[in-house]
Amino acid sequence: MSLISTLIPDRRKFIKYSLILVSGLLVVFVCCDKLIMPAIVSSSKTIKVPNVSGLPKQQAIDILEGQGLKVQEVMEQFNEKVPSGTVYMQSPYSNALVKEGRRVYLTVSKGYEVVTMPDLTMMTQRDAQVALMRLGLSLGNVSYDWKDSIPENRIIRQSYNPGMSVASGASINIVLSKDSTSSIVLPSFERLTQDEAMNSITQQGLIIGEIVQEQNETYTPGTVLRQLPNAGVRVKLGSTVNLWVASQE
């Protein structure tokens, strides 16, 4: 018997056994995929995540844990729109279907971020604006008062006293000093709205005088028709400006 005739049957047996082994492994894989794994997965209870946004932190934790979920982490962040200690974000989101024991992450508001009000007195408007911006505050309304003993355009009052706690993002109003001997050429306030004219008068270091309502069918009610003193006249700072405004009737 030749060597070739001896090896051929052995090779056929090897191929046969290999095919049987592969077929067996394939059957085991299919059984695991279709029967065993679904059984394992389905053995865990499915839970609909409750909505805990808007609730106090501890109440939210109690509700989630009562549903069989685990609160993994609570992150606290400043949020001026949400009361301190209140949940405003959650992950997974509400109504998501998850397995029992799933980790839930919460974000809780720390409320307003509070800063200490600096002393702005004797600063220029520009310096004060920079100081406020560094603290997360903004410059609000600017008005004037006449103080001959104080250099002109220096802050003499502020809407929050130094050392007070102020919410981040708040607007701070200031009053600048003006020398009563100074004068300006009066601009025209005509055709502005009453509010625009009044703001401009104040910003020019002038005083709002009498507001006279006058019936007029040509212009929109609230439009400035005339002023006194007239535009182009040089007046002292602190002078009074009267306005005639189109009436509502």
* Per-residue confidence (pLDDT) for residue 53, from 0 to 100: 94
Residue that the structure tokens 């102020």 belong to: 166
Tell me, what's the pLDDT at 29? 58
Considering the domain architecture, whether residues 220 and 193 belong to the same structural domain is answered as yes
Are 57 and 102 found together in one domain? Answer: yes
User: What is the structure's pLDDT at 16?
Assistant: 66
Q: Are 229 and 235 in contact (CB under 8 A)?
A: yes
User: Which residue type does 203 have?
Assistant: Q
> What is the Cα 216 distance to its own chain's centre?
44
Sheet holding 138-146, edge to edge: 138-146, 171-178, 155-158
How much is the pLDDT for 14? Answer: 61
Same domain, 104 and 82: yes
Note whether 65 and 105 are same-domain residues: yes
DSSP secondary structure, 38-91, as one string:
HHHHHTSPEEEPP--TTSBHHHHHHHHHHTT-EEEEEEEE--TTS-TTBEEEEE
Task: Give the model's pLDDT for residue 154.
Answer: 94
8 Å CB contact between 88 and 108? yes
Tokens encoding 37: 């794994």
Rounded CA-CA distance 158/173 in Å is 6
Mean pLDDT of successive 10-residue segments in the chain (249 residues)?
Answer: 49 65 64 55 76 95 94 88 92 92 93 92 95 94 82 93 91 87 87 95 91 92 96 88 90
Same domain, 97 and 136: no
Residues 229 and 188 in one domain: yes
pLDDT at 90: 94
Same domain as 29, residue 3: yes
Same domain, 50 and 88: yes
Q: Which domain holds residue 103?
A: 46-109
Number of domains in the chain: 4
End residue of a domain, out of 178, 203, 231 = 178
- The residue to which tokens 């600017």 are assigned: 142
Residues 67 and 94 both lie in one domain: yes
Per-residue model confidence (pLDDT) at position 33: 56
Query: Domain boundary at 153, 178, 203, which?
Result: 178
Instruction: Tell me which amino acid residue 248 is.
Output: Q
pTM above 0.75, yes or no: no
- pLDDT for res 39: 52
Domain C-terminal end among 178, 197, 232: 178
Residue 184: closest CA among 231, 149, 147, 142: 231
- What CATH number has the domain bearing residue 93? 3.30.10.20
Same domain, 75 and 104: yes
